[in-house]
A and B are shown apart, each in its own frame.
Chain A
């Protein structure tokens, strides 16, 4: 961080433009607030609508955050955009899907004579196994991806692994289509997690529903993110990862097995993507081979928004992006079709005024 500051003060124009940017920032954000204020005063939306929008954004943001961490981890260590990360999530989603299908296919007759599917007899076991399988398959996919498509390219020009990642992404997407067919598949949830049901919170005359699946995925992503944070900050592996992110050759001299750490990073990011995939299925019902693509792009955006390479940044970026997507159009009085335009515009604004994201880069220092 110090290094960048010193370089910035080297030349005069930078300072002048810094002042200019500050003024521009004040003007732009003043305009934004003015617009939001103007819309809010004439808006027909009541408190219940705003709360619904916020809840929807928060749940979506939680999943973005989980996927974004995968991007950030890999980027922090290899300085490469793992374009196929969204596909890893898709693979995880399919892993969980097959567990649920298997559980749903087996009928169990309980003591009082009622016949339930195994899914509803042991819902917690089913959900646990779905996550276990989904996460392990995704982790395996991440591991193989690194081994096959990225490891041979270590040391190649920086954009080469990106192209390899794009190729892998195209391959995995089409393999998904050919293996599982082009149709969308439905996650059959246990009754415990029926979609579209939840706690009703009365607001004024109407009430806002907090869906069970939504709360479940939000809580689970929070737990996973805390777990990851502890892993990176407190464990030996985390220390090694940070060391590799800082400087590979020095880390190697200190006795860190760099290749192994990179592999493990891919496994961890695969685990998180797999969890996000299963959650995606449980909360959003439908999955197919294309499931990973859009969330992948969004999560990557979130990772950059928060400051790529920065784990808390990815979390904040994800939540922020989710909320901007759902609340933004309503707050600015714009068509919902343009929600991505708003999201990307906010990204651009943030980056213009904070060129390394909301929280800045942290896992490693400066990179060019």
Chain B
């Protein structure tokens, strides 16, 4: 017994020893670091400038995390080094949970060479990570955390290029009622924060405009048989089904509408259901389905990106999640800001003033990217433009008139 305790004590002692590495004071520190509100990140000669990402790399949402981090990897490959300093992406697994998000954030802030965070991916994990980055002074630019309250908490570090449910939902309701002239719709969502947020806004706005929401149902994500839910909705004879959620469930819904008595209803998705995977996996039953997106249909930047993505990872861009382009943009925008503020010290090390970087990211204006120009407002919403609506015609997404 006592032997075991002794052993334990030794282990703990060893851990303490290991954790107290002495900190070397540097000379040749540039003046900006003295003035900076937070201080500088010192990147020693020979190391890389790191962008940290918290993403679900395992578990049932792994496809999102893997895809977005791969998009960001391409941005890193495209980035010119600053002097001899290359960029590097450190993607850590959050498992999609808040707990994992906080663990990753805590891990990333211990590494001084991590300067910015193109993430996190899901709102829960972002929520838990935010206060930790706030304390450390690491700017975030999330490609896909869409939960509206995230930007309303007065943090200086959190920004996002994903557009919020509130904006998109309003546009979608308007489009359904005024453009398409529907008066009876059913609203569905996948039970997640993102889908439910959208569905709520659409229901509210559509009713306000004078339409009737005849059914409101949520599905369990990850399942592949929604015929029961759809059949129950069919009994109300809606003209269209609005769905807030992701492409995985969107595909299943669109495919099973016919056999559930909804052959005449239109499937109307969101930016989560946009992308090549929807067309690939719905085939004929996807014809006439709508979706929203911020991605310009075929800009040169997008074509180049898609080609490189296919070459590097062997799958089509957008077949894993609809956010891979946003992942690229978030990383690219952050890299540009790092480049703008970084200072090469006299001692051969690179210094990144953290306070200035946080400011620079919040002040991003007119940054050219795949998903359009990025301009952040004072609370960190960098994508306030309305979405464009698309329709599937002959197996292609075309802009809906």
Contact = CB atoms under 8 A, between A and B. Distances in A.
**A and B directly contacting (CB within 8 A):** yes
Interface of A: 44-46, 48-49, 52-53, 56-57, 59-60, 174, 177, 181-184, 186, 195-196, 198, 206, 208-209, 211, 280, 283-286, 288, 290-291, 293-294, 325-327, 329-330, 335-337, 339-340
B225 interface: yes
A206 to B, nearest CB: 6
A305 B336 CA distance: 59
B96 to A, nearest CB: 12
Interface stretch (B173-181, B256-264, B266-274, B352-360): B256-264
Interface of B: 58, 60, 62-63, 66-67, 191, 217-220, 222-225, 227-229, 231-232, 234-236, 248, 251-252, 255-256, 258-261, 277, 280-281, 285, 315, 319-320
B220 to A, nearest CB: 7
Contacts of A336: 217-219, 228-229, 232
A69 B223 CA distance: 21
A10 to B, nearest CB: 42
A326 B63 CA distance: 28
Contacts of B260: 52, 56
A285 B252 contact: yes
A56 B58 contact: no
Most chain A C-beta atoms within 10 Å of own C-beta, residue among B60, B315, B320: B60
Given A195-B255, A198-B259, 6 more contacts: A49-B235, A56-B228, A284-B224, A286-B251, A288-B63, A335-B217
- The 7 A-B residue pairs with the shortest CB-CB distance, nearest first, are A326-B228, A337-B218, A284-B224, A182-B63, A52-B231, A56-B227, A336-B229
Given A49-B231, A183-B63, A206 B261 contact: yes
A46 B235 contact: yes
Given A181-B315, A336-B217, A186 B281 contact: yes
Contacts of A335: 217-218
Nearest to B196: A337
Given A186-B281, A285-B224, A286-B281, A337 B219 contact: yes
Contacts of B220: 337, 339-340
Most chain A C-beta atoms within 10 Å of own C-beta, residue among B232, B248, B280: B232
Nearest to A186: B281
B62 A325 contact: no
Given A177-B62, A290-B222, A183 B227 contact: no
Nearest to A60: B225
Contacts of B66: 182
B285 A196 contact: yes
A52 B227 contact: yes
A336 B233 CA distance: 10
Contacts of B62: 177, 182
Contacts of A57: 228
A360 to B, nearest CB: 29
A353 B232 CA distance: 31
Contacts of A184: 63, 248, 281
B4 to A, nearest CB: 22
A325 B259 contact: no
A216 to B, nearest CB: 14
Contacts of B223: 294
Contacts of A283: 225
Given A49-B232, A329-B232, A330-B232, A177 B251 contact: no
18 contacts: A45-B232, A48-B261, A52-B228, A59-B225, A183-B63, A196-B285, A211-B259, A286-B224, A288-B63, A293-B60, A329-B232, A330-B228, A330-B232, A336-B229, A336-B232, A337-B191, A337-B217, A339-B228
Contacts of B67: 182
Given A49-B231, A209-B259, A286 B58 contact: no
Contacts of B256: 196
